[in-house]
Amino acid sequence: MDLTRFLAGKAFHIRLASGSPRRRALLHDLGWDFETVSPDVDEAPLPGEKPEALCERLARLKAEAGAKTAGPNALVLAADTIVVIDGRVLGKPSGREEACAMLRLLQGRAHEVMTGIALSRGGELLSGVERTVVHFRPLTEAEVQAYAATGEGDDKAGAYAIQGKGALLISAIEGDYFNVVGLPLCRLGRMLEELTEDTERG
């Protein structure tokens, strides 16, 4: 994979189909040119749908929705991140009580963070799922309550943020750190290379 164009950062423009400030910050830190749109997608799982299939399907739906109002050669990026433990998907908590319940479930154990990522351009759509294992250290009830009270996890799957105070809760990770933040950058680079090469050849 030739990273030259992506390291330069100015050779392309991305339409980010996501309202996530974490994803915007990651693209900004790369120095890439991008705009954001917030696609309206029903995120309810289908009956019997596996977590991996759910986040990839939602990423694809968001990319397709973002492409509808874009030009024919627009490069559209979408992602959907979920936390999975015991086969159960933890989304964003509905309130402080549910946030505490999620943290109690995660504490002292390992869970998976899955991000479905989709990239479209010129009618072609690539997608995949990145998985990272996150280990929480044991937490006391006072620690659970104190972290939930920060409000940091209110709008995040699993009710925590690895890039903030939530880092104090995590003893180890196996895989891509940026995947836990919400956008697996190494996989994104590979997908960009594949998609731009394919569309340029076409």
Distance of alpha carbon 85 from alpha carbon 78, whole angstroms: 24
Complete DSSP assignment for 23-84: HHHHHHHHT-EEEEE------PPPTT--HHHHHHHHHHHHHHHHHHTS-TT-EEEEEEEEEE
What lies within 8 Å, CB to CB, of 86 at 6+ separation is none
- Give the global pTM: 0.91
Contact 173, 110 (CB under 8 A): no
User: ∠ CA 87-46-40 to the nearest 5 degrees?
Assistant: 110
Is 198 catalytic? The answer is no
- Note down the domain range covering 95: 4-201
Task: Please list the pLDDT of the chain residue by residue as tens digits (202 residues).
Answer: 566 767 776 567 899 999 999 999 999 999 899 999 999 899 999 999 999 999 999 999 999 999 998 887 889 999 999 999 999 999 899 999 999 999 999 999 999 999 999 999 988 999 999 999 999 999 999 999 999 999 999 999 999 999 999 999 999 999 999 999 999 999 999 999 888 775 555 5
Annotated catalytic residue, options 80, 154, 176, 198? 80
Q: What is the CATH number of the domain that holds 93?
A: 3.90.950.10
**pLDDT at 133 (0 to 100):** 98
Give the count of domains, the chain. Answer: 1
**pLDDT at 200 (0 to 100):** 53
Name residue 89's beta-bridge partners.
Answer: 84
Fill in the amino acid letter for 53: A
